[in-house]
Amino acid sequence: MRARTGVIAFARVATLAAFVSLSAQAKAQEAPTGRAVTVVHRAPGNAPSLGPRYAPVTIEYFGSLDYGRRSTTELARLERLYLDHPNRVRVVFYLVKKSKLNQAAYEAFRQGRFWQFARAVRESGWPKNERIPDYCRAAGVDVARVERVLAQPAPANELIEAAETLRQRRQLATGSRSNIVFNGVEHRPANPAEWESAYQSAYARARAALDRGTPVRSLFRRLLRDVELERNQTWFSPGDIDERADADPPPTTAGPGWLLGDVDRTGPLTLGPARAPVVVVFFCNAASSHCRTTFRHLSQLRDNYPESVRVVYKGVFTDDQRGAELAQRAIYCAAEQDAEWQFADQLFKRYPVPKLERERLVERAAGVDLDPEELDNCLVAERHADQVAREMQRARDAGVVFTPSIAVGRRLYVGKRTWTDLQRMVELELRPGLLERAGELRHRALQTVAPAPELDPQATDKTP
């Protein structure tokens, strides 16, 4: 019985092997002899690419097929680079514009004929929507399937939306504003010589990373990470801070620092879900105009990341700043009436900085839905003085010296910030795989433990 089963299994394997062999021979006969065959990598739900998966140079093209002469020129030069360096270049195409031509191109991608379709568009000279059926026939794409996709009232744009999301993440992480990115570095090549120069620069960086021992499979992720770290050293250098006579200002070339200890992530002024993956702690001096500028962006964080970000406000000031201490207690008092954010908004929205006196603070309550008399009684009784003092001490123990300062995860960013800065801080912390997000490692551990690799958007790419 066992022998019979083994014979049957062997026969099945032999039949399958013969089928695969015949299929391979048929494909070999289809390909003209003496010519290089373009290998187009395709994976459903991913992005089309051209070239080896682990090529040392990855060129990300965030563009569109309907940009007229610009599109055809860029496609031609991308193909030229690949043909000149077939084992070293990989081109990944991200079409970021919702247009009929791009919809047709992605349907061609689903049929495994993206590059043939793109080449037909390029060779036409000037892309036009009415010629989409001609492009399909030239590329061997099923015209009827493309027409059904384009006839839908709201065509599926999931690939285009994913491409646009990745483009925005690249911009936030690396500062790139170009639609052509070589190993994470933006380039705007204007002629063939500049395209080749951009390739040579990217290849040199890749070779240096490989010489340092970076595995080939991790090379692209490592290069993106290096670009991001280099960018952060300048992008996240200290902004404007409040002057302090008892401390030297941080160097202007320094990147983000690290919290030296735990900070209280609770308090009256909090926004966002308690279990949000990212907690942004804002250390502010109520008497500071720099703090007031940054404060205006906190609610914007909540609106843009309603499920991902929790914002916590903490008052930090020097011992002789009686007005700032009084304002912080007033926020605690307003929390007794569930009006802490309304009161804080009222407090921070006016310029110049008001005198932080009890009478003035009570006057601010008139524009908020709370009882001014109860607020005044709370301030006179100094009901929350101990809480404010403990909050201050914990911030100092964690290494917070200057205001404004922002802690995101374990990173500490010093100085006034724009909305773009805050958005990049959050995106950096939300990036998949960062160990820092857990908030369990101290500064020394973070210097020695490498972060987990970023998910590769082409990780599932396969050759048909």
One domain, residues 273 and 395? yes
One domain, residues 68 and 197? yes
Tokens 């960086």 correspond to 205
Cα–Cα distances (Å) from 370 to 340, 342, 360, 362, 391, in that order, read: 9, 9, 15, 10, 24
- Check whether 175 has a pLDDT greater than 70: no
One domain, residues 201 and 93? yes
Residue 413 forms part of a structural domain: yes
Long-range contacts formed by 39-45: CB under 8 A, 24+ apart = 39/463, 40/112, 40/114, 40/115, 40/116, 40/464, 41/458, 41/461, 41/462, 41/463, 42/109, 42/112, 42/114, 42/461, 42/462, 42/463, 42/464, 43/458, 43/460, 43/461, 43/462, 44/110, 45/158, 45/159
**For 417-446, what is the mean pLDDT?**
60
Task: Tell me what the pLDDT averaged over the chain comes to.
Answer: 75
Indicate the number of domains in the chain: 2
Residue 188 forms part of a structural domain: yes
Select, from the ranges 14-18, 41-45, 206-210, 241-245, the one with the highest average predicted confidence (pLDDT).
206-210
One domain, residues 190 and 310? no
- Check whether 163 has a pLDDT greater than 90: no
What is the predicted pLDDT for the residue at 354?
56
**For 370-394, what is the mean pLDDT?**
87
Token pair for 398: 């964690």
What's the pLDDT tens digit per position in 189-213? 889 999 999 999 999 999 999 998 9
Whole-number Å distance between alpha carbons of 339 and 364: 12
Out of 165, 197, 220, a domain closes at 220
- Check whether 301 has a pLDDT greater than 90: no
- Check whether 154 has a pLDDT greater than 60: no
Q: ∠389-395-396 over CA atoms, to 5°?
A: 90
What is the predicted pLDDT for the residue at 431?
67
One domain, residues 170 and 297? no
Residue 97 forms part of a structural domain: yes
Q: 55-59, 70-74, 94-98, 228-232: which has the minimum mean pLDDT?
A: 228-232
One domain, residues 214 and 262? no
Query: Per the confidence metrics, is the pTM higher than 0.85?
Result: no
One domain, residues 193 and 266? no
- Check whether 44 has a pLDDT greater than 80: no
Cα–Cα distances (Å) from 322 to 95, 274, 327, 329, 349, in that order, read: 57, 31, 9, 11, 20
One domain, residues 215 and 264? no
Using N-to-C axis directions, what is the helix angle for 69-84 and 114-123, rounded to 10°?
A: 120
Would you say 411 and 441 are in contact if contact means Cβ atoms under 8 Å apart?
Answer: no
**For 228-235, what is the mean pLDDT?**
60
One domain, residues 325 and 205? no
- Name the nearest CA neighbour of 315 among 345, 282, 340: 282
One domain, residues 320 and 410? yes
Q: 77-81, 141-145, 415-419: which has the minimum mean pLDDT?
A: 415-419
- Check whether 456 has a pLDDT greater than 50: no
What is the predicted pLDDT for the residue at 204?
94
Q: Give me the CATH number covering residue 93.
A: 3.40.30.10
What's the pLDDT tens digit per position in 248-296? 566 554 556 677 677 777 777 888 888 888 889 988 888 777 787 788 7
Cα–Cα distances (Å) from 361 to 294, 348, 356, in that order, read: 21, 11, 7
Boundaries of domain holding 387:
257-430
Residue 276 forms part of a structural domain: yes
Residue 108 forms part of a structural domain: yes
Residue 438: pLDDT band by 50, 70, 90 thresholds? Answer: very low
Residue 66 forms part of a structural domain: yes
Out of 199, 220, 241, a domain closes at 220
Whole-number Å distance between alpha carbons of 412 and 395: 11
What is the predicted pLDDT for the residue at 458?
39
One domain, residues 150 and 278? no
One domain, residues 209 and 265? no
What is the predicted pLDDT for the residue at 389?
87
What's the pLDDT tens digit per position in 91-133? 998 888 888 888 899 899 989 999 899 889 988 878 888 999 9
Residue 447 forms part of a structural domain: no
What is the predicted pLDDT for the residue at 21?
41
Residue 463 forms part of a structural domain: no
